[in-house]
Structure formats: structure tokens, C-alpha cells
Amino acid sequence: MNIQPQFMRFPDEFWWGSAWSAEQAEGRGNTGKGRTQWDMSWDKYPHRFYQGINTDTTTDFFYRYRDDIELMKQTGHNSFRLSISWARLFPDGIGEVCQEAVEFYRAMLSEMNAKGIKPFANLYHFDMPEAMMQLGGWENRDVVAAYVHFCDTCFQEFGDLVFHWFTFNEPLGPVLGGYMEDFHYPNVIDFKRGVQVGFNTILASALAVKAFKRHPLQSKIGIILNLSPTYPRSENPRDKEAAEYADLFYNRSFLDPSVRGTFPPKLVATLHEHDLIPEFTEQDLNDIRENTVQILGLNYYEPRRVKARTSSFSHDAPFMPEWYFESYIMPGRKFNPHRGWEIYEQGIYDLCIDIRDNYGNIEAFISENSMGVANEERFIRDGQVHDDYRIGFIQNHLAYLHQAITDGCNIKGYHLWTFIDCWSWINAYKNRYGLIRLDLKTQQRTIKKSGEFYQALSQQNGFYFNGLYVDF
Ligand code: BGP
């Protein structure tokens, strides 16, 4: 697809903004926040965190939110996604709500509203309270009930201040990281338990939607999924079959139940074949069917390219979806070496078209996109990070997004990852994603060149696309 140079104007009221999460940005604060799985992980594996940085301070948003919301304005935000910390509201995961925490979030959300920034509130971003993790985390149905109680409390306490709600960010993340690929607590390798975690989070999301509908609110509730359009190496039927399996496990597994209320039959059959079906009741399936999302957040970073397996998998090894496919590295691809992710702008278009054609063109927005780059101080000139690569990345993706909207996709906004450089799980502050640079020693914030670009983009509700940027 060849997109011509032109001024790309976006629809009126388009949401320009960015996203981050409580655990990654707030710091501990002084409300008596409970410990989370990240503290547990830190106790056990401090060496796994880049430069040994934990969540004590992060970007210190708890204490600096007033100034930071001013910076949101200066960088063109008309909307912003944060998450509400379950462990801050309920230090033990359940019980009495912490009033100081309620006051903190009310003050912060009020400040955003006062500055004309629409708050998008997400209710789970990889941050299980320790007390809940000790019960087995998402493997335990009591934890699902505690989460729904937390969500219900949020709708009650903050319903007048939140523009749109989201039940989960990337629910695939805890399954991959915690049960398959060893990068999140509890660092288990057990796909069957991972499937139970996946099912229980889908159920938790549906039950949160059900609870939401009991509140008389104008806002909508959705989910944020990380979706990588999946491309086979070739038209060979074996390659295409490999791509179909990868797509089922990593995209349709959460997309179908969230939007359609059902699971893909071929995925269910495959799980049956390997004795991987989770425990559930008929009532669970009803709840999932009847409480689908009203809006969809699309996190797009990279495509997934696969080919038919060229070697057989050891059937003595634990089951993994890769029994059905192998990753494929496409010659000549663009690539972000800091994160190891391919850059493929047309993927954002293909993803939107899939949602248009196969998911009823549900109201959606890009909820995360951008590139993380290490050692950005290399690009400081006159005190500012000159991140032309990030501007190029954003423009390239927006050009394809604009085309998707022109072709009828129901896309309402574009949020970047992220606002100010923030802590990113085991990568901590290695790869910087912000529109604003964070000096870790002083906590000083400095708007990058991309932050100035973003301000102009939002103000003009568009930008002049000069052709694809290629110098990554
Ligand atoms: C997304 C997560 C974010 C953030 C981002 C960048 O998948 O939703 O929380 O972590 O990825 O992450 P990383 O630093 O691992 O590149």
C-alpha cells in the first residue's frame, strides 16, 4: 500500500493522548499502598530488573501529578489513560477501601478534568496485590470476586470523573510472562495453569462489565488488547496454517470472548486435544456471552510473522503454542534493535480492518503505539532529546491509521506509550518511550522534540505527511 504525501486531518474530537499505569509511574506515595507481585518479584529476583531499579519511586506521579498534568497540556493531550491501583485502594486486595487512596485518585482525576483532559481509567495493568497473589492470583476464583469488588468500588467512587473505563490492559501479558515465558511473577512454566489464568481474566472482565452496567454512568467500558496482526512467511498452505494457529493463541483467544462473547471453536478443539481445557461453569459462559465490551483499545507495536515448523518439537517439553509454528524473520524488515521488535506500519491498518470486518466495527482507538529507545541522552542537543526516529515512527503509523479511518474503520483516537519516560517491568528505565525525558537522579522533566511535535499534531488535529520516514 502506497500512501501519498498530503495533510492528514483526523476526525473532529479525535482523542490525542498517551497512556501509562499506576505501578509504572506513581511510586509508593503515602496512602499505605499494599505490596504487589512486583515487590514479591523484587524480593526473589532483584537481579532480573534492569540496573536494579524497583517500583519505590518510578516517575513519582503520586507527588507530582499537578505539574505533570500541566505537562500533558503542553504536549497536546486531550485525553490520558492511567490505571487505578488495586493494591492502593485495597492494600489487602479486599476488605475496607482505603479512604486516603480514594482522596488521591479523586484529586488527581478532578485535576485532569479541570485541565480539559479526559481520564481513561484502566483497572488492571499487571499489578496483582500480594495478598491476592498468595491465594494463587488469577488461578483462584476468589481473586476474581475480589477484583470485581474493587472495580465496583471504582465505578462508585470515581464514576463522575472518568471518561471511559477499561477492565484490563493486555490480559495476555500475565499468561505469557507468568506461565509461559518466565518474565513475570509467579514465573511458572505451565501452559494449563496459564489457560486457567486466561479464562479467569476473561471471566473477571465480563463480570466487571456486568457490575459496570448496574451504575447509571454515561461512560463506556472496554478492554485493551495487545494485538499483533499475524502474517505467514508465504502462501504455502503449511505456512498459512502456522499463522492461523499463532493468531488463534495470541489474538483471537482474548479478542473473540471480549467482543463476540464466544471462544474460537478451533482454539477450543486444540485445547481439548492437549487436555488443556480450564475449569468453568455454564454460568461463566453466559456471563461472558452477555457482557461483552462497549469499546476496544488496540495496543499495536509489532507484527507477528510465522512459518511452518522446520523441526519437530520435543513432546517431552512443556506444551507451548509454538508446537504449531516458528517465528519468521522477514528479510529487509525495519527493526527497533533496542526492543527487538519489527517496525511495520501497515500492521496498524491491517489490524483496524480486521476489527472493522470481523468484529462489527466496534468503537475502538489505538491505546498504545511507539518505540522504546535506549541511551537517549545520545540525542540531546541544547538540552533537548532530538528523537526524530520517534516522530517518524508516529507519523508513519498515523498515515496508515488515517487510511484505515478513510476506509471506514471506527477509530476514535490515538494514544502513545507514553507520556513521561516510565518504569517498564523488568526493563525498568532501559528503553525510553516518553514524549518527555525523565532524569532519574533529579526527577527533572524535559519535553523532547517529539513532545513539541505531538502538541502541534493535536492542535492542528493532523499533520503533513511527507512520505515514509525510514531512518530508524
Ligand atoms: C506494553 C505494556 C506497557 C509497557 C510497554 C513497553 O506492552 O502495556 O506496560 O510496558 O509495553 O514495554 P517494554 O519496556 O517492555 O518495551
**Probe target for ligand 1 pocket from 18, 424, 430, with the most ligand atoms within 8 Å of CB:** 424
pLDDT of residue 4 exceeding 90, the answer is: yes
Q: How far is the CA of 338 from the centre of ligand 1 (A)?
A: 13
Q: How far apart are CA 126 and CA 185, in angstroms?
A: 10
pLDDT of residue 1 exceeding 90, the answer is: no
Alpha carbon 238 to its chain's center: 31
Q: Encode pLDDT of 67-83 as tens digits.
A: 999 999 999 999 999 99
Q: How far apart are CA 426 and CA 51, in angstroms?
A: 9
457: confidence class by pLDDT, cuts 50, 70, 90: very high
Would you state the pLDDT for residue 313?
A: 86
Residues forming the active site: 170, 368
Q: How far apart are CA 172 and CA 197, in angstroms?
A: 9
- What average pLDDT does the segment 387-414 reach? 98
Q: Encode pLDDT of 126-158 as tens digits.
A: 999 999 999 999 999 999 999 999 999 999 999
Report the percent of the chain where pLDDT is more than 70: 100
Report the percent of the chain where pLDDT is more than 90: 99
pTM, full prediction: 0.98
Give me the chain's average pLDDT, please: 98
Q: How far is the CA of 424 from the centre of ligand 1 (A)?
A: 6
Would you state the pLDDT for residue 451?
A: 98
Q: Encode pLDDT of 355-394 as tens digits.
A: 999 999 999 999 999 999 999 999 999 999 999 999 999 9
Q: Encode pLDDT of 30-51 as tens digits.
A: 999 999 999 999 999 999 999 9
Q: How far apart are CA 247 and CA 255, in angstroms?
A: 10
pLDDT of residue 315 exceeding 90, the answer is: no
Q: Which three cell numbers stand for residue 47?
A: 537481579
For ligand 1, residues with CB inside 6 Å are 21, 169-170, 226, 299, 339, 368, 372, 417, 424-425, 427, 431
